Structure 1
Amino acid sequence: MQEFAADRLVRVDNRQLSRISVVAQCLDNQWVTRDLLEHMVTRRLSYAEVERRRRQDARAEYLRSILNAQQVIVNRAYFFNNPVVYQDFRAPGPQREAFRALLDESVLVPFLLREGSPADEPRFTVDAAGWSAWRTLLGDLDTIRCLRLSWDDAENEQSTQRLMFEEFHRFLLQLRGFNLDALRRDLGLEAESIPTLRQKLREVTLWAADTDRADREGFYRQFLVEPGSDPAQGRFRSAPLVAELKHLVDLRYNTTVPDAVERFALIPTDSLRRTALQERPPVRARKPTEEGGPRAELTRLVELLRTLRPQAFDLALSPLRIDLTGLDLHHVRQARDTDEWRGYLLALESLLDDPTDFVARGQVVYDRYIALARRLAELVGERRQGQMRIWEPVVRVTIEVLGASASLIYDGDPRLEIVGDVATEVAARGAEAVLRFAVVGRDQRRAENELATGIDVMRVRLERAREDWRELVARLQEGGFPLTGGDVGRDSEPNIDRPREET
């Protein structure tokens, strides 16, 4: 086995990354689907007892990440400690050649936390088979591009602490201030669970404030796993909200690296969506002397939506999933070298250029992904065209004030929906208006449920609630949007979420 030479390492930072670079949550050794975790907690099962299912799920999502993105940033440890990854290069053959090519082409980019080289001896327990295979592979490479936050050790340590560890700690400290009703909807909880949710978030916040090292392992020990057990075993307590807290904290943990390098988190299917993190700009208070009124605030909303690329990316890619069962890595690499894949990528870049045009641009992304799926089916000699149906996204931009709401609905036929009015008894009071952005598949769900998948974009202080509210409604009507009083008939048309019933 040839040793890895230092001159083969190409050092890169986030400026050299491709635009559509992702960190795949599925490679996290704690990741498990929402459905499987519920089964584990109910049946008191550990990770070892559901390992086959976990590995199948992770493998499908790993291949999906390589198909759906330009680059996949992978924590160095996963290359040799996760068999989902090292199974491709452990033995000679077409999979090893494909894996080596993906490293050569910088499709797979090792992320180094503090290491100076991908060959550095780990300071933690390793999978012996994976480590041996990784060292052999490194010896065969001419070069390998690796990513760090900084290649200056002192600066890298500061950036790691500030952008990853401190951000995760700050998230735990902020949980107590989350909007509980929005969070319980994201978590799939009933309204009756709010008191318990409030208490649990308070306990987490207090623990994080009193703990010198409030990391994920400590959180697992304190709130999730059986006392005295190793978090890596996945023996979870049968206690209220264990599964929900795990999903929420795992989501933030797995978004720290993509946020630090200013790229995207690829969140797996059947996992908590990024909207649950309640990321939003700070509240803006409109001063009485400030000109522009609601019209100016809507302009600011559009500007803010342009900054929502991580959320738009997650919303766009969540339905982009095809059955990859039985496919190998070399099939996915072949698919990447097609006009269909390049067309899909261009459409995704266009959507990220302007998330506010989600309906039109999102549909192009989806259509081109269907074409890519068909091309992949041709490559593997199977017919998979029936795996996906037409997607009809609906965008809602909603302003809520004291129970009244106004929604601009974009689904190919833009319209305005008004629900309620600001009550007379609070008409002259100041109030907070919440602006939300949501993208959903068109179906029969009511507006309030659609908004559960949305993002709180901005909060604006209105000094005279009723007067400002009516001015806002008047401005929207002047914009020429037809006014409706609620959901319309075409919201029940078939779509990917609810296909047409056979007759």
Structure 2
Amino acid sequence: MGRPSTVDSGEEKMVQETSGPGGLVRVDNRALSRISVVAQCLDNQWVTRDLLEHMVSRRLSYAEVERRRRQDARAEYLRSILNAEQVIVNRAYFFNNPVVYQDFAVRGPQRDAVRALLDESVLVPFLLREGSPADEPRFTVDRVGWDAWRSLLGDLDHIRCLRLSWDDAENEECTQRLMFEEFHRFLLQVRGFNLDALRRDLGLDGESIPVLRERLREVTLWAADTDRADREGFYRQFLVEPGSDPAQGRFRSAPLVAELKQLIDLRYNTTVPDAVERFALIPTDSLRRTALQERPPVRAARPAEEGAPRADLEQLVELLRTLRPQAFDLALSPLRIDLTGLELAHVRQARDTDEWRRYLAALESLLDDPTDFVARGQLVYDRYLALAGRLAEIVGERRRSRMRIWQPVVRITIEVLGASASVIYDGDPRLEVIGDVATEVASRGTDAVLRFAVVGRDQRRAENELATGIDVMRVRLERAREDWRELVARLREGGFPVVDGDVERDSEPNIDRPREGE
């Protein structure tokens, strides 16, 4: 399926801006920065996997876990602004999500920080069909947030807002095709998912496969038979108590409710970044994008300049030769810094430092040439630590004394349908291998994704720690299972102790690449 003409995926991107009423500056995806993200944490249905399991097992609603939900979302929101160049935010979240509007509900340094971030296009409101960020919503609003938003807009000289197209007819076509129809298409396809790979992603045991198969069949039949196969309808049909409002989060006692919610929420929250061809920022302790089982189109690979950096097996093998237990020089002195007690003004100050600019340049350099993995990955690591140190100074000694020790490590992950291999550098380098390539792609060509991350040593504290991770390249495997086993063998030969078994995949926050267009 070709994309509407508003999407320009070439290297030559001309920033196009047009003026509108009330200081509105209209932009499309060509004006976005390279590392622009859509943060899933601001979705009003997002909860961590751990908290969701607690809610379902204890029959708790969102209101009953609101404090924890808000803390988790707040940490992820601040982390997204620190780690990415630009954060695209659905307009409704500015006034319906207290995690966002708490910063500008009252005048002070936090409100000043929001104004600066909007002025600098760090925060970019996304308009679905609205013509202006001040348009009266057609849905229920949080009056405190709406009043604060209107007041904030009145203080701004200008505001850059993003739409798929500023021509109303074309925007409607883009919205239908690139968002609503893509979500519907996903629901129609889940029946054909590889169940063994999916149950690993969902953290299920092998005995769950028959129930998982039946639930996915029910989803596909419902999607084929309903006129409005949207997320709210899905929630009412499969997840929440009959007659309850999905926004309340009163989930029913039924098999795999939590798992279906994670899967559907993930696809829902990747439609916007896919539509504008930027990154989805998947929060910590959330389902990885690989669970969507997105298969590349059956065609020749796109030239490198037209999409994500790509490599074949031989290039990846050559890259892996550089990976050895002593490949990365890790910090010996851990920092006392975490996300607890951070405020938006702190993050805004950190972004205005040389350390932040150098970190971003290192991240872009790694994306430019992932085959120079060790040298450029080391640069990302060093500069992210320098940024963390500067952030600790900004927070100040008084606040820092209440923070925990952060011990940063490097994790390199290669994932393909059904399997994952992670090389962890934490003073005790090792290789963790999960699963095997799914049968349906075993003898065919498919893509593997290579991810680089700087994370904390203690994964149990990941939601409160600094971390940055990004998908840096795709690797073409022509005969997937044979090529995969060769890759793992090369890593074993590199001298890494191997941990095999059905362990959990990494769950740190990550900037996930959009799928490639068809």
Please indicate, yes or no, whether the TM-score normalized by the shorter chain is above 0.5: yes
Deviation at 1:154, TM superposition (A): 0.2
Matched, 1:215 2:230: yes
Counterpart of 1:36? Answer: 51
Q: Which amino acid counterpart does residue 65 of structure 2 have in structure 1?
A: V
CA 1:484–1:254 in structure 2 vs 1: closer, same or farther (change >3 Å)? closer
Q: Which amino acid counterpart does residue 41 of structure 2 have in structure 1?
A: C
Q: Which amino acid counterpart does residue 56 of structure 1 have in structure 2?
A: Q
Deviation string, structure 1 residues 444-488 (Cα, Å, up to 9, x no partner) = xxxxxxxxx9999667469xx9xxx69x97xx9xxxx97957974
Counterpart of 1:179? Answer: 194
Q: 1:404-443 to 2 correspondence within 5 Å? A: 431-432=443-444, 436-437=448-449, 439=451
Counterpart of 1:391? Answer: 409
Counterpart of 2:273? Answer: 258
Contact 1:398–1:408, Cα closer than 8 Å, also in 2:
no
Q: Which amino acid counterpart does residue 67 of structure 1 have in structure 2?
A: L
2-side partners of 1:189 and 1:18: how far apart?
Answer: 38
Contact 2:451–2:473, Cα closer than 8 Å, also in 1:
no
Counterpart of 1:13? Answer: 28
1-side partners of 2:385 and 2:134: how far apart?
Answer: 39
SS in 1 for 2:99: helix
2-side partners of 1:18 and 1:181: how far apart?
Answer: 38
TM-score under structure 1 normalisation?
A: 0.75
Deviation string, structure 1 residues 196-233 (Cα, Å, up to 9, x no partner) = 11111111111111111110001111111111111000
Structure 2 unmatched ranges of 5 or more = 1-19, 301-310, 318-335, 426-430, 432-441, 458-470, 501-505, 507-518
CA 1:322–1:213 in structure 2 vs 1: closer, same or farther (change >3 Å)? farther
CA 1:28–1:174 in structure 2 vs 1: closer, same or farther (change >3 Å)? same
Deviation at 1:271, TM superposition (A): 0.8
Deviation at 1:299, TM superposition (A): 6.3
2-side partners of 1:92 and 1:248: how far apart?
Answer: 39
1-side partners of 2:295 and 2:337: how far apart?
Answer: 31
Contact 2:312–2:475, Cα closer than 8 Å, also in 1:
no
CA 1:454–1:172 in structure 2 vs 1: closer, same or farther (change >3 Å)? farther
Structure 1 unmatched ranges of 5 or more = 286-295, 303-320, 417-429, 444-452, 498-503
Counterpart of 1:234? Answer: 249
Query: Structure 1 residue aligned with 2:217, among 173, 182, 202?
Result: 202
Deviation at 1:323, TM superposition (A): 2.2
Counterpart of 1:323? Answer: 338
SS in 1 for 2:38: strand
Counterpart of 2:288? Answer: 273
Matched, 1:380 2:395: yes
Counterpart of 1:501? Answer: none
2-side partners of 1:491 and 1:363: how far apart?
Answer: 24
Deviation string, structure 1 residues 344-383 (Cα, Å, up to 9, x no partner) = 1011112222345555433432332121111101011134
CA 1:51–1:206 in structure 2 vs 1: closer, same or farther (change >3 Å)? same
Deviation at 1:20, TM superposition (A): 1.1
2-side partners of 1:332 and 1:152: how far apart?
Answer: 35
2-side partners of 1:183 and 1:455: how far apart?
Answer: 22
1-side partners of 2:42 and 2:166: how far apart?
Answer: 25
Query: Structure 1 residue aligned with 2:157, among 119, 123, 142?
Result: 142
CA 1:250–1:79 in structure 2 vs 1: closer, same or farther (change >3 Å)? same
Matched, 1:90 2:108: no
Q: Which amino acid counterpart does residue 375 of structure 1 have in structure 2?
A: R
2-side partners of 1:409 and 1:87: how far apart?
Answer: 39
Deviation string, structure 1 residues 131-157 (Cα, Å, up to 9, x no partner) = 111111111111011000000000000
2-side partners of 1:239 and 1:73: how far apart?
Answer: 35
Q: Which amino acid counterpart does residue 102 of structure 2 have in structure 1?
A: Q
1-side partners of 2:219 and 2:344: how far apart?
Answer: 41
Q: Which amino acid counterpart does residue 391 of structure 1 have in structure 2?
A: V
Matched, 1:191 2:209: no
Q: Which amino acid counterpart does residue 362 of structure 1 have in structure 2?
A: G
Contact 2:290–2:415, Cα closer than 8 Å, also in 1:
no
Count of residue pairs the alignment pairs up: 425
Contact 1:18–1:70, Cα closer than 8 Å, also in 2:
yes
Q: 1:448-467 to 2 correspondence within 5 Å? A: 460=478
Q: Which amino acid counterpart does residue 103 of structure 2 have in structure 1?
A: D
Contact 2:48–2:286, Cα closer than 8 Å, also in 1:
yes
Counterpart of 2:331? Answer: none
Counterpart of 1:313? Answer: none
Q: CA RMSD in A?
A: 3.9
Q: Which amino acid counterpart does residue 48 of structure 1 have in structure 2?
A: A
2-side partners of 1:207 and 1:270: how far apart?
Answer: 29
SS in 1 for 2:237: helix
Which has more radius of gyration?
1
Deviation string, structure 1 residues 317-341 (Cα, Å, up to 9, x no partner) = xxxx962221211111000011111
Q: Which amino acid counterpart does residue 253 of structure 1 have in structure 2?
A: Y
Going by fraction, where is helix more abundant, 1 or 2? 1
Identical pairs, percent: 77
Query: Structure 1 residue aligned with 2:297, among 282, 300, 304?
Result: 282
Deviation string, structure 1 residues 2-33 (Cα, Å, up to 9, x no partner) = xxx81411000010111111111111000001
Larger relative CO (CA 8 A, sep 6+): 1 or 2?
2
Q: Which amino acid counterpart does residue 124 of structure 1 have in structure 2?
A: F
Matched, 1:346 2:364: no
Q: Which amino acid counterpart does residue 345 of structure 2 have in structure 1?
A: H
Deviation string, structure 1 residues 380-419 (Cα, Å, up to 9, x no partner) = 113489643242334558899xxxx9x99899xxxx9xxx
1-side partners of 2:165 and 2:187: how far apart?
Answer: 26
Contact 1:110–1:118, Cα closer than 8 Å, also in 2:
yes
Deviation at 1:489, TM superposition (A): 3.5
Query: Structure 1 residue aligned with 2:383, among 368, 377, 383?
Result: 368
CA 1:483–1:278 in structure 2 vs 1: closer, same or farther (change >3 Å)? closer
SS in 2 for 1:113: coil
CA 1:348–1:455 in structure 2 vs 1: closer, same or farther (change >3 Å)? closer
Higher mean C-alpha displacement, 126-135 vs 379-388: 379-388
